[in-house]
Structure 1
Amino acid sequence: MNKRERLLKKLTEAWGPSGFESDVASIISEELAPVGKLSRDKLGSVIAVQEGRTKRGPRIMLAAHMDEVGFMVQQITKEGYLRFLALGGWSPRAMPSMRVLIRTHTGKDVVGVVGFKPPHELGPEERKKPIELKDLHIDVGAIDKYDVKKELGIRVGDPIAPVTQFVPMTNKEMYLAKAWDDRSGCALMVEAMQELAETKHPNTVIGVGTVQEEVGLRGAQTSGHAVKPDLALAIDVALARDTPGYREDTDCRMGAGAAILAYDSTMIPNLALRDLAVDVAEEEGIPYQVTTLRGGYDTGRIHIQREGVPSLALGVPTRYAHSTESVIHRKDYESALRLIVALVERLDRRTVDKVVTR
């Protein structure tokens, strides 16, 4: 396993649902400490400021969210099962038999599994119904409610996230793990900051690991206010639409390059910045694809800070996002890293001013 794969393994296997990102924040802080001046905003986002060759250069924000979709304990039944609510957008169809880890208020980790009535016991009408969150529970191997609360230390409000391992797949080009949304973006932000530290970039680059993106882009709003960027890039996942069920002429495929987002539900990107990203990719020979998303990115909050911040989302195409296992392609990750670094190196004061006024 090479250095990059070790970083990806650390980040994807780290436990960190929305609002409980401290394990991920520790990893990112350790990686960024040698290449930027570290601080935290009051919501918990990690901020690393790296000055380039001039202090008068524009402030470029690279935002990647640290949180993953997860759950929270909502109720403990008298039989010792957990009812739970979702932190972020889940499809209940992806949940049955999922192995999870509950972190108690004392810091103790408890393993459980999402339970559902087996197919043998489903009646004809139940088989037709879609699975709902209320149909599911978490089994922690407890005897009763007392056992859950007193012996395991679990209480209402304790956070929950899936437990899986990072695995290079058979052809070695694909990586399987949980939480590529957005630990792939976190890794890209870290690697971009490390590469840029070796260059004389014409700006101040601020790498930010944001919190609570999956529950409303909250860390992006507070860190965007704290950082006061002149321009922002959100580094996140795009949805690969090359699996069964999508049309054949899809606009986003695994292995076809970095994703440049032309639209998402929270932002229409700055058009000049979008075009610049495309131009940079073509001039540098970086594989890319332009796509859209019905969800949102951190730039959805950042771009409406103060009088407005020119913003763009870039991503790595990902299969099966917001589930317990998802897949990315090594070449797409590499293309995204090349594009981020090349784009930031072009963003001097004159270029950023043109982006703003165009």
Structure 2
Amino acid sequence: MNKLDETLTMLKELTDAKGIPGDESEPREVMRKYIEPYADEVYCDNLGSLIAKKEGSKNGPCIMMAGHLDEVGFMVTRIDDKGFLRFQTVGGWWGQVMLAQRVTVKTKKGNVVGVIGSKPPHILSPEARKKPMPIKDMYIDIGAGSKDEAMGFGVRPGDSVIPYFDFTVMSNPKMLLAKAFDNRIGCAIVIDTMRQLKKIKHPNTVYGVGTVQEEVGLRGAKTAANLINPDIAFAIDTGIPGDTPGVTDRDALSVLGEGPQIIIYDARTIAHRGLRDFVLETAEKNNIPYQIDTTAGGGTDAGNIHISHDGVPAVSITIATRYLHTHASMIHRDDYENAVRLMVEIIKGLDQKQVEKIIQC
């Protein structure tokens, strides 16, 4: 199998895996399978974040790069007498992208197919039709005729509900469509970076991390960073593009296919100035395309990593991704490849002297 096929297989397995915040076991095991050959040690913190450690050639600085394992989804909160499921969002959702979408309910007996339903427009008043359907009025229909039948399928309150979508290579093979690119693409970049670093001599101890519960407050990033105590950190995530109809350059600047995004500011992190400059210099020296952007309304794992211990210089490197926090999102293959190239060159260029230069005030 050639590398292209191997990469697509990994991306399919990562994105098809079902893992909302607090229930990340499936994507964690996929990530473990792919990253284990390139690590000296693989273990988890007590919340479930996966940590793959690779020692460098010397006792150099500790470099943490983290993608998050979880995806936005839902949780069953109750089953009504007619067998319909009421649910809670887990992570950020916009109600208008949810109706009539297929979902998978994970139960102890196995997966149950469902669809998000609501009142049909035919019986709504003209005024109601103009308004978005409130999420609290939605439900999940699993085809059960009663509460007992639904419970017979194995459904219980607390079960995870995951958006359903199959990984798809589009007619333009550079364009990839899947659920959970936010943020299995970050996990894939971590894996691929570790794979390439295995053949490269450098002094750094590298930690490739798949964090948990990012979508509900960057929780796994906090516990993983406290366990690792890194000298330098990178959050590898998804970002907003500005290349679709209705989005202007006042909303977002990036374009799919023009390189990974270097986030200089978001709601949780101001990029460390010294590390930011080092990242930009590395990209330019190696002719790696990149895009500078800001995300005033969101944040990445860097938000908790950079304030762990006595402070960790951190930068978010993201992949422009269309249709975030929906059932299907889209990326450009070149952005993925260039993000891996950038991370490899960054780590090759780091050593204790360079880290001290970055950190100095």
Instruction: Classify the TM-score, shorter chain.
Output: over 0.9
Q: Supply the distance in 1 between the matched residues of 2:43 and 2:249 (Cα, whole angstroms).
A: 46
Alignment pair present for 1:338 and 2:341: yes
Alignment pair present for 1:8 and 2:45: no
The match for 2:209 is 208
Q: Supply the distance in 1 between the matched residues of 2:133 and 2:192 (Cα, whole angstroms).
A: 40
- How many angstroms does 1:121 deviate by? 2.2
The match for 2:244 is 243
The match for 1:189 is 190
Q: Supply the distance in 1 between the matched residues of 2:154 and 2:334 (Cα, whole angstroms).
A: 44
What is the correspondence of 1:219-238 to structure 2 with a 5 Å cutoff?
219-238=220-239
The match for 2:143 is 141
Give percent identity, aligned residues only: 46
Instruction: Give CA-to-partner distance per residue, 1:39-85, whole Å, 9 cap, x none.
Output: 1100001111101111x200000111000001000121111101101
Alignment pair present for 1:76 and 2:79: yes
Q: Supply the distance in 2 between the matched residues of 1:248 and 1:304 (Cα, whole angstroms).
A: 31
Aligned AA (1:235)? I
Q: Supply the distance in 2 between the matched residues of 1:182 and 1:307 (Cα, whole angstroms).
A: 27
The match for 1:40 is 44
- How many angstroms does 1:22 deviate by? 0.4
Q: Supply the distance in 1 between the matched residues of 2:325 and 2:311 (Cα, whole angstroms).
A: 30
Q: Supply the distance in 2 between the matched residues of 1:99 and 1:182 (Cα, whole angstroms).
A: 20
Choose from 320, 331, 337 the match for 1:328: 331
The match for 2:259 is 257
SS in 1 for 2:65: strand
Instruction: Give CA-to-partner distance per residue, 1:320-345, whole Å, 9 cap, x none.
Output: 00000000001111111111111111
Alignment pair present for 1:22 and 2:22: no
Instruction: Give CA-to-partner distance per residue, 1:1-41, whole Å, 9 cap, x none.
Output: 61111100110111111111101111111112111111110
The match for 1:158 is 159
Alignment pair present for 1:99 and 2:127: no
Alignment pair present for 1:317 and 2:317: no
Structure 2 residue runs of 5 or longer lacking an equivalent are none
Aligned AA (2:173)? K
The match for 2:351 is 348
SS in 2 for 1:199: coil
The match for 2:272 is 270
The match for 1:52 is 56
SS in 2 for 1:343: helix
SS in 1 for 2:29: helix
Alignment pair present for 1:288 and 2:290: yes
- How many angstroms does 1:107 deviate by? 4.6
Q: Supply the distance in 2 between the matched residues of 1:300 and 1:107 (Cα, whole angstroms).
A: 37
Q: Conserved in 1, the CA contact under 8 Å of 2:109 and 2:154?
A: no
Instruction: Give CA-to-partner distance per residue, 1:151-194, whole Å, 9 cap, x none.
Output: 11211111110111111111111001001000100100000011
Choose from 87, 92, 104 the match for 2:90: 87
Q: Supply the distance in 2 between the matched residues of 1:34 and 1:214 (Cα, whole angstroms).
A: 28
Instruction: Give CA-to-partner distance per residue, 1:295-351, whole Å, 9 cap, x none.
Output: 111111010011100001001100000000000001111111111111111111111
- RMSD of the alignment, in Å? 1.1
The match for 1:118 is 120
Flag the 1:19–1:107 CA change in 2: closer, same or farther, 3 A. farther
Q: Supply the distance in 1 between the matched residues of 2:97 and 2:193 (Cα, whole angstroms).
A: 33
Q: Supply the distance in 2 between the matched residues of 1:355 and 1:258 (Cα, whole angstroms).
A: 21
Q: Supply the distance in 2 between the matched residues of 1:267 and 1:89 (Cα, whole angstroms).
A: 19
Aligned AA (1:50)? K
The match for 1:175 is 176
Q: Supply the distance in 2 between the matched residues of 1:337 and 1:119 (Cα, whole angstroms).
A: 47
Q: Supply the distance in 1 between the matched residues of 2:231 and 2:213 (Cα, whole angstroms).
A: 23
Q: Supply the distance in 1 between the matched residues of 2:34 and 2:171 (Cα, whole angstroms).
A: 29
Q: Supply the distance in 2 between the matched residues of 1:291 and 1:206 (Cα, whole angstroms).
A: 26
Q: TM-score, normalised by structure 2?
A: 0.96
Q: TM-score, normalised by structure 1?
A: 0.97
